[in-house]
Amino acid sequence: MRSCVFLSFVPLALAVRVILSNDDGWAENNVRTFFDVLDKAGYQVVLSAPVDNMSGTGSSEATPRAVFEGCRYSSCPPDSPATGYNSSDPRLNYVNSYPVTSIKTGISKTAPALWGGAAPQLALTGPNVGHNMGSRRARKSGTIGAAVYATKIAKIPAIAFAGKSIISAAWDDPAPVSSKVYAELALNVTSTLVASGTPYLPVDTWLSVNFARVTSSKCNNTNEFKYILTRIGSGYHEAPDVKWCGSTRLPTERRVKDSKSGCYVTISIGDANDKSTVDAARQAQVLPKLRSILSCLP
Ligand SMILES: *[C@@H]1O[C@H](CO)[C@@H](O)[C@H](O)[C@H]1NC(C)=O
Ligand SMILES: *[C@@H]1O[C@H](CO)[C@@H](O)[C@H](O)[C@H]1NC(C)=O
Ligand SMILES: *[C@@H]1O[C@H](CO)[C@@H](O)[C@H](O)[C@H]1NC(C)=O
Ligand SMILES: *[C@@H]1O[C@H](CO)[C@@H](O)[C@H](O)[C@H]1NC(C)=O
């Protein structure tokens, strides 16, 4: 029947409930542009992110406190409550605390209250302003801290996104080209994983995704980007990785960045227990889910 044919074209994203957070703050343009792109693609999204820039706060947590000085970019007035929302769009929420506390509040309270008690099915964080490549940044990043909390404690599969362009803009400024390109690339990774079916990721596994710098003359169009499967740290002393691109050692994120071979998206498969790269067995479970978008380094 015609109607059945039509139904098969309903985007897979339609029913997927997403909790979105970051560490740059709820009013940062990158995360708002991603919110809009996800919303247009049919995802049900709730944003729950810090009031201010909380970069580098890793997995810290603290009880939210009243916002005496107002939110970043004057996105809420002085003396606002410890948690709050945009009165014209209650899907947009702030929490005056660390990234982990903000995503935790969104997962346990805010999102279920908006979804008739239902829990998020996927946690997305970022795109972070500035890359999160390598073991040290992975441990320090609040954007990764929030994704790892979702995976390890809340048992919700998570992807942490970060972009090399350090362009900070308010939610109500025109979206910088980098924010738009990063949001579209992040949507592509998200939709590829969602289309691969549930479980989206193995237990205790998350993805760390980094985007190359966007400039006025280079990497300003999503079609120029190649998606590369990577490692977070070198793994020099570790067992082999999954066999891919003719090798059993995946390139590190930094090696891809330093290769300057083009416009790249690095995708590392993370272990929620220590923010390092997962073993080859779990890499092998995730690889088929992403294969359709992956390329090998030249
Ligand atoms: C946030 O704070 C960090 C550390 O203080 C700083 O390096 C970074 O540039 C700030 N980020 C933004 C988006 O303002
Ligand atoms: C709140 O939402 C309205 C409607 O979407 C928007 O115009 C306004 O800029 C938003 N403000 C903040 C701080 O999110
Ligand atoms: C994107 O880069 C191309 C060169 O590759 C340049 O011609 C174009 O003006 C740039 N577009 C934007 C929006 O920066
Ligand atoms: C996602 O990325 C792949 C690989 O570059 C590309 O072929 C595909 O068209 C992209 N899809 C969307 C919806 O952008």
Domain membership of residue 1 (yes or no) is no
**DSSP designation for 121:** S
Domain membership of residue 2 (yes or no) is no
pLDDT of residue 11: 54
Angle in degrees, 0-180, between the axes of helices 29-40 and 177-195, rounded to the nearest 10: 40
Our mutation pick for probing the ligand 2 site, out of 36, 45, 92, counting the most ligand atoms within 8 A of Cβ, is 92
Domain membership of residue 141 (yes or no) is yes
pLDDT of residue 6: 45
**How many C-beta neighbours within 10 Å does residue 95 have?**
24
Domain membership of residue 239 (yes or no) is yes
More confident residue, 39 or 2: 39
pTM of the model: 0.95
Arithmetic mean of pLDDT, 160-165? 97
Q: Max Cα separation, the chain?
A: 60
CATH of the domain at 251: 3.40.1210.10
Our mutation pick for probing the ligand 2 site, out of 29, 52, 89, 94, counting the most ligand atoms within 8 A of Cβ, is 89
More confident residue, 3 or 263: 263
- Residue 260's pLDDT band, with cuts at 50, 70 and 90, is confident
Check: CB of residue 97 under 8 Å from CB of residue 62.
Answer: yes
| CA dist., res. 181 & res. 187, Å (int) | 10
Domain membership of residue 37 (yes or no) is yes
Check: CB of residue 38 under 8 Å from CB of residue 27.
Answer: no
Return the exposure string of 42-65: e unless at least 16 CB atoms fall within 10 Å of the residue's CB, then b.
ebbbbbbbbbbbbbebbbeeeebe
Check: CB of residue 289 under 8 Å from CB of residue 251.
Answer: no
Domain membership of residue 257 (yes or no) is yes
Measured from the CB, is residue 295 less than 6 Å from ligand 4? no
Measured from the CB, is residue 293 less than 6 Å from ligand 4? yes
Domain membership of residue 5 (yes or no) is no
* DSSP string for 46-101: EEEEESS--TT-TT-------BTT--GGGSS-TTB-SEEEETTEEEEEEESS-HHH
| CA dist., res. 153 & res. 138, Å (int) | 18
- Show the domain range for 37: 10-295
What's the gap in Å between 265 CA and the centre of ligand 4? 12
Closest ligand to the CA of 137: 1
Arithmetic mean of pLDDT, 239-258? 96
More confident residue, 172 or 258: 172
Measured from the CB, is residue 216 less than 6 Å from ligand 2? no
pLDDT of residue 3 exceeding 80, the answer is no
pLDDT of residue 15: 87
Domain membership of residue 57 (yes or no) is yes
- Residue 8's pLDDT band, with cuts at 50, 70 and 90, is very low
Measuring CA to CA, which residue among 112, 114, 134, 189 is closest to residue 158? 189
Angstrom distances, CA of residue 292 to CA of 62, 91, 226, 252: 41, 32, 12, 21
Which residues have C-beta within 8 Å of that of residue 157, sequence separation ≥ 6? Answer: 121, 122, 123, 150, 151, 193, 199, 200, 201, 205, 206
Return the exposure string of 200-237: e unless at least 16 CB atoms fall within 10 Å of the residue's CB, then b.
bbeeebbbbbbbbebeeeebeebeebbbbbbbbbebee
Angle in degrees, 0-180, between the axes of helices 280-290 and 177-195, rounded to the nearest 10: 100
Check: CB of residue 184 under 8 Å from CB of residue 37.
Answer: yes
Structural domain count, the chain:
1
Q: For the segment 176-214, what is each residue's pLDDT rounded down to a tens digit?
A: 999 999 999 999 999 999 999 999 999 999 999 999 999
- Residue 31's pLDDT band, with cuts at 50, 70 and 90, is very high
Our mutation pick for probing the ligand 3 site, out of 178, 179, 180, 217, counting the most ligand atoms within 8 A of Cβ, is 217
What's the gap in Å between 162 CA and the centre of ligand 3? 22
Atom of ligand 4 nearest to the CA of 185: 14
pLDDT of residue 27 exceeding 50, the answer is yes
For 165, list phi and psi in degrees, rounded to 5: -65, 125
Angstrom distances, CA of residue 279 to CA of 117, 136, 271, 286: 35, 19, 8, 11
Q: For the segment 98-152, what is each residue's pLDDT rounded down to a tens digit?
A: 999 999 999 999 999 999 999 999 999 999 999 999 999 999 999 999 999 999 9
Measured from the CB, is residue 63 less than 6 Å from ligand 3? no
